Copies of this chain bind each other. A is one copy, B any other.
Amino acid sequence: MSLDERKLEVLRAIVEDYVSTHEPVGSKSLAERHVLGVSPATIRNDMAALEEEGYIAQPHTSAGRIPTDKGYRLFVDRLSQVKPLSAPERRAIQTFLDGAVDLDDVVRRSVRLLAQLTRQVAVVQYPALSRSAVRHLELVHLSDGRLLLVLITDTGRVEQRVVQLPTALGEEQVAELRTAVNASLTGHRLADAPAQVESLPDSVGLELRPVMVSLGTVLLETLAERSEERVMLAGTANLTRSALDFPRTIHPVLEALEEQVVLLKLIGEIETPSTLRVRIGEENAVEGLRDTSVVSVGYGSGEQALAGLGVLGPTRMDYPGTMSAVRAVARYVGDLLARQ
């Protein structure tokens, strides 16, 4: 039970060495590479204790020790201090992101940046519709009794859906609809949309009410279906940099990454920005991601996060470095979107 100061120090040393060398670490090399002030024999005793407690394990009898998920967890919680980024790194982030011309570009640039900085797989979620506000709603009249509904949010997201009309419309009627919809929704958060949509039909002439109803339905549908759905991925190739990272193959990992739902589970579900979350190995409920860790965080300007972003890599990753990179990128992206 008792993990005194030195044992923790030994665990830290094991994690650090294992992360950098990718090989089980033994008592002798530990004593050489770190200033622990004791002999290998003493370290061996500590290691035996750490193994007893489940923080480290031996791949086989005559090998050194590697950290377990539990060991990494302790390391992340108590032993690591967030490594600040270097000045050039900060500058690189800034200049790279500042060049973005629209939301797509922001997301694309940040996900690439994150992949490059951490040398891992990066995931960035688009700002959730429900947490954005309506900037403008546009109705475009298509040829045959159909209407294209274009929704533009204050974070720059654009969603479109075709609405099948119950009756054909004239241009002036479309204009009336457009005015009414914008009057009641522009500036409002989309989370409040259901209430607003409720009262929409009352704002137009009698003969337009059925049209307004189907418009409202489609709007709510879009909100429900696409609310959190979009994510962007980069750096998949980083998974294969060192073949030793994954016991069997990376197949299950790639499969998991193809599932949007899974990605959203990993990155999403974030309420307040800038609270880093680290999920290590088995802590990922997803089968197939048992040998990976996920570092994620919410981004956004205000109190509430707009969406999440993060990084996925082998359990054996550089946690301090990854954590600081993820946090830094999230901050910049949040600021950037606030300035839009």
Contact = CB atoms under 8 A, between A and B. Distances in A.
Given A156-B160, A161-B101, A161-B102, A258 B235 contact: yes
A236 B135 CA distance: 37
Nearest to A218: B101
Interface stretch (A27-35, A88-96, A247-255): A247-255
Contact of A136 (B140, B158, B254): B140
A234 B251 contact: no
Interface stretch (A195-203, A237-245, A272-280): A237-245
A204 interface: no
Interface string A83-108: 00000000000000000011100000
A307 to B, nearest CB: 18
A240 B236 contact: no
B255 A251 contact: no
B241 A251 contact: yes
Contacts of A152: 140, 148, 150, 160
Number of chain copies forming the complex:
2
Given A140-B152, A152-B148, A250 B258 contact: no
B237 A162 contact: no
Interface residues of A, number: 32
A288 to B, nearest CB: 10
Given A101-B161, A101-B162, A138-B138, A236 B251 contact: no
A200 B61 CA distance: 79
A215 to B, nearest CB: 15
Contacts of A249: 240, 243
Interface of A: 101-103, 135-136, 138, 140, 142, 148, 150, 152, 156, 158, 160-162, 234-237, 239-241, 243, 249-251, 254-255, 257-258, 340
Given A101-B161, A135-B142, 15 more contacts: A102-B162, A135-B148, A136-B138, A136-B140, A138-B140, A138-B150, A148-B152, A156-B160, A158-B158, A234-B258, A236-B236, A236-B254, A236-B258, A237-B251, A241-B251
11 contacts: A102-B162, A135-B148, A138-B138, A148-B152, A150-B152, A236-B258, A237-B251, A237-B255, A240-B249, A241-B251, A243-B249
